[in-house]
Chain A
């Protein structure tokens, strides 16, 4: 009983029958530019990892429409809970690209959040599903204060097999707190296929067990993602009702730079999904309906490459981390033990 499928633009870049898009050319271009930013960032990060500058890196390649379409909807003081593959979404929500590079470099100043950031972006969850109850707690606090902010919580298909997903979704439904549970179903959890995570056809079907509304959307169609999340959150700001969204997408790259996906999936499968690449689709749509040209596209890509290269340069120019810094930010005030250990390090250094 898989849910109906929401799609606005098909893989050829044509409007799906019966759908209308309210976005102007500039708004569509803004979404596309963000997707290109994520894509260029992914490529740059992968290259830098191969060159030994970054640690093991989990690429979000292929998930740009799901991330950009959803994160773009967030408004001032909303909350974003990314998982490890959502670095693109974090960039969309205002984490500087150099800060994300620092995170991947294992630099002590990783994920330094600008004080004037528009959206609260929590550092990416590493323990799968651990962020989902946090999103519920934050949403609960905004509801208690009668504030209109919502929490957008990302996770993958693997996370839906974990207790934290079930406990958190259940609690959000019981208390009716404003969270968008946004599953990027990218079909793979390292080597484990979707069919090994669950016996249901669709993650969206799980919502009925908790009494939540849910939507199943084409996660490679940025306009479907954007429009669905926009509609859902507009309503949620008044009703506080949580919602589960399944964005069906695909992890085009390996699990991480340390993984070899040829051990567990076929090139044919990957090629089939490459035909559904969200960037190709968005570009085709722009060409078809908004007179976008190849030369404009090249210029955009070059502009963004420069931006990402500059961000890398700033990150790489940072002085290396110092061991003494680990003793800060453990507690609000340093304990006697930590003071003593820091001074040991200072003396040794």
Chain B
């Protein structure tokens, strides 16, 4: 087993899938000779050639719409949108087309398509490069939405996403591409879609997150545990749609307190959905009101303010203490 970054783990998953299955093709802007702006598709062009690693025109709607067509006729396209914010230029092809084709054709046409996009804040990028737009896709029946927060999951979830018979939005937290390495099996393995992972067990409070907070949430939780003597369970949701309600409810039923952490703006974020389900299923077990630490309800801020604007260790620590004392 080698220690890989998330960017390397994703690259390896693409390399191995494409070697096994010649119906898998990649398309996107600057993904071929350039290997992608984050080098996630590095070496694939050289390995598989220009018919399977396709540099497209700068044309999000044509990338996504033609990927729908490729998928309709039995290929397994993996489309890259260079930054999630740019997906808005082709948004309708996902929401009104890819998500609905199975249903409107009664299963006659299907769209086994993966749309990969770097997303999330914290890297000092220009405007529209840092937005967390996952709610749009979760709110659209017919799509699956996956967010890995570590290299091992990124590889195993990507295999599952490509094998899935339906469209999958695969969101890659940019700050985690090279934040750390971990051991990643060299072989093919499948992490199931729709399954959350309990990354740290505890009895007094449940923290639920996805994506970038994965880089710092555990040290924050450990320091609060140490200071308060409480134990805190931490769940990485990994798949936002379908949501693993079972794991979430089991944990909160046990702990009676919950904090949801996400980078997306708070109002109508996926945290609201999670909390609503908790209140429906674990109402009588709650010891404190459910809380959220999220992006504020503003357009994503300028680079100088993003660290304060984003959920961070200090904001989470404050809220954890408040919940434990409630």
Known: A123-B104, A144-B51. Is A133-B61 also a contact (CB below 8 A)? yes
Task: Determine if A127 and B92 form an interchain contact, defined as CB atoms under 8 angstroms apart.
Answer: yes
Task: Determine if B69 and A137 form an interchain contact, defined as CB atoms under 8 angstroms apart.
Answer: yes
Known: A127-B96, A144-B25, A335-B194. Is A136-B102 also a contact (CB below 8 A)? no
Interface-lining segment among A40-48, A52-60, A238-246, A326-334? A326-334
B231 beta carbon closer than 8 Å to chain A? no
B245 beta carbon closer than 8 Å to chain A? yes
Task: Determine if A170 and B57 form an interchain contact, defined as CB atoms under 8 angstroms apart.
Answer: yes
A12 beta carbon closer than 8 Å to chain B? no
B165 beta carbon closer than 8 Å to chain A? yes
A285 beta carbon closer than 8 Å to chain B? no
B103 beta carbon closer than 8 Å to chain A? yes
Known: A331-B142, A332-B110. Is A137-B59 also a contact (CB below 8 A)? no
- Measured in the bound complex, the distance between the Cα atoms of B73 and A34 in whole Å is 28
A132: B residues at CB distance < 8 A: 65
Contact among A112, A171, A174 with B106 in the assembled complex (CB-CB below 8 Å):
A112
Minimum Cβ distance to chain A for residue B67 (Å)? 6
Known: A141-B74, A335-B194. Is A136-B62 also a contact (CB below 8 A)? yes
B64 beta carbon closer than 8 Å to chain A? yes
Q: How many residues of B contact A (CB 8 A)?
A: 46
- Measured in the bound complex, the distance between the Cα atoms of B66 and A139 in whole Å is 9
Interface centre among B70, B144, B246 (most CB of A within 10 A): B70
Interface size class of A (residues with CB under 8 A): 35 or more
A188: B residues at CB distance < 8 A: none
Task: Determine if B242 and A140 form an interchain contact, defined as CB atoms under 8 angstroms apart.
Answer: no
Task: Determine if A329 and B73 form an interchain contact, defined as CB atoms under 8 angstroms apart.
Answer: no
Minimum Cβ distance to chain B for residue A95 (Å)? 11
Minimum Cβ distance to chain B for residue A100 (Å)? 14
Task: Determine if A168 and B65 form an interchain contact, defined as CB atoms under 8 angstroms apart.
Answer: yes
Task: Determine if A335 and B97 form an interchain contact, defined as CB atoms under 8 angstroms apart.
Answer: no
A342 beta carbon closer than 8 Å to chain B? no
- Measured in the bound complex, the distance between the Cα atoms of B148 and A241 in whole Å is 41
B185 beta carbon closer than 8 Å to chain A? no
Q: Residue-by-residue, is B92-131 near A (CB-CB < 8 Å gives 1, otherwise 0)?
A: 1100110001111111111000000000000000000000
Minimum Cβ distance to chain B for residue A345 (Å)? 15
Task: Determine if A171 and B57 form an interchain contact, defined as CB atoms under 8 angstroms apart.
Answer: yes
Task: Determine if B64 and A133 form an interchain contact, defined as CB atoms under 8 angstroms apart.
Answer: yes
Task: Determine if A134 and B61 form an interchain contact, defined as CB atoms under 8 angstroms apart.
Answer: no
Contact among B25, B59, B75 with A171 in the assembled complex (CB-CB below 8 Å):
B59
Interface centre among B66, B70, B71, B103 (most CB of A within 10 A): B66
- Measured in the bound complex, the distance between the Cα atoms of B243 and A167 in whole Å is 35
B107: A residues at CB distance < 8 A: 328-329
Task: Determine if A332 and B72 form an interchain contact, defined as CB atoms under 8 angstroms apart.
Answer: no
Task: Determine if B25 and A336 form an interchain contact, defined as CB atoms under 8 angstroms apart.
Answer: no
B245: A residues at CB distance < 8 A: 336-337
Task: Determine if B97 and A136 form an interchain contact, defined as CB atoms under 8 angstroms apart.
Answer: no
Q: Residue-by-residue, is A298-336 near B (CB-CB < 8 Å gives 1, otherwise 0)?
A: 000000000000000000000000000000111110011
B166 beta carbon closer than 8 Å to chain A? yes
Task: Determine if B66 and A174 form an interchain contact, defined as CB atoms under 8 angstroms apart.
Answer: no
- Measured in the bound complex, the distance between the Cα atoms of B102 and A332 in whole Å is 8
Considering only residues 116-169 of chain B, those with a C-beta below 8 Å from chain A are: 141-142, 144, 164-166
Considering only residues 154-197 of chain B, those with a C-beta below 8 Å from chain A are: 164-166, 194
Task: Determine if B243 and A337 form an interchain contact, defined as CB atoms under 8 angstroms apart.
Answer: yes
B294 beta carbon closer than 8 Å to chain A? no
Task: Determine if B93 and A130 form an interchain contact, defined as CB atoms under 8 angstroms apart.
Answer: yes
Minimal Cβ-Cβ distance residue in B for A170: B57
Q: Residue-by-residue, is B43-68 near A (CB-CB < 8 Å gives 1, otherwise 0)?
A: 00000000100001101011011111
Known: A111-B104, A111-B105, A164-B65. Is A170-B59 also a contact (CB below 8 A)? yes
Considering only residues 272-290 of chain A, those with a C-beta below 8 Å from chain B are: none
Report 26 cross-chain contacts, Cβ distance below 8 Å, ordered by A residue.
Answer: A111-B105, A113-B105, A133-B64, A133-B65, A134-B68, A137-B68, A137-B72, A140-B66, A141-B70, A141-B74, A141-B75, A163-B61, A163-B89, A164-B61, A164-B62, A167-B57, A168-B62, A168-B66, A170-B57, A170-B59, A170-B62, A171-B66, A330-B102, A335-B194, A336-B245, A337-B245
Known pairs A111-B105, A141-B70, A335-B242 / 16 extra A-B pairs, C-beta < 8 Å: A109-B106, A123-B101, A127-B92, A127-B96, A127-B97, A130-B92, A133-B62, A133-B66, A134-B68, A137-B67, A137-B71, A137-B72, A140-B66, A141-B69, A171-B59, A329-B103
